[in-house]
Amino acid sequence: MFRRSLAVFYSNTNLGDPGKLMNSQQKVLDINSPLSLLRMCYRSIDICVKSRHARNFFKKRLIDQWAEKSKETNPEKIRFYMDLAGSFLQALHTDRTPKPGMVVKFNLSRRIAHEKKMEERAISNVKRVRKVQKEGE
């Protein structure tokens, strides 16, 4: 009871951490507008989806859905669409087989994702073959 009252007190003042969600006790993203959520989803597709075809499909579908749903004026539907987009964003950053109680870490930096990918390539020692053009072509 006391912890909850402290949490309510801190949530009403600027003393608490604004990135905490009281129900799950884990960091959440600060989403200021539907457009910022769209940007996060678009960037996450670049970072998390490995297949080029899947990336193109998701990006095209995301932009099509944005064009269709962004004109909505009903606040309940807007909230519903934002929840769906948030679920999509969370699904992109979640492992295929998540462990119970595992905290989702949102990596929205393309540079960090690229460095992580290069580290994984160095560890795996798989040779990647690039086709070299013949001189006559």
**Interval 47-92: pLDDT, tens:** 888 888 999 999 999 999 989 988 889 999 988 998 888 888 888 8
Same domain, 88 and 36: yes
* Residues forming a β-bridge with 111: none
| Residue 20 to residue 10: CA distance in whole angstroms | 11
Asked if residue 137 belongs to a domain, the reply is: no
Confidence of residue 11 (pLDDT cuts 50, 70, 90): very low
Asked if residue 62 belongs to a domain, the reply is: yes
| Confidence (pLDDT) at 60 | 93
The domain tally of the chain equals 2
Confidence of residue 28 (pLDDT cuts 50, 70, 90): low
Q: Inform me whether the pLDDT recorded for 5 exceeds 60.
A: no
Same domain, 25 and 43: no
| Confidence (pLDDT) at 29 | 64
CA 28 to each of CA 20, 73, 90, 111: distance values in angstroms, whole numbers, following the listed order: 6, 26, 10, 21
Same domain, 13 and 43: no
Q: What is the mean pLDDT of the chain?
A: 76
Closest to 107 (Cα-Cα) out of 46, 25, 47, 21: 47
Same domain, 110 and 44: yes
Among all chains, which residue has been given the structure tokens 């884990």? 26
| Residue 54 to residue 45: CA distance in whole angstroms | 9
Task: Read off the DSSP letter of residue 131.
Answer: P
Asked if residue 127 belongs to a domain, the reply is: no
Same domain, 50 and 101: yes
Confidence of residue 103 (pLDDT cuts 50, 70, 90): confident
Asked if residue 68 belongs to a domain, the reply is: yes
* Domain limits for position 8: 1-30
Same domain, 8 and 24: yes
Same domain, 10 and 43: no
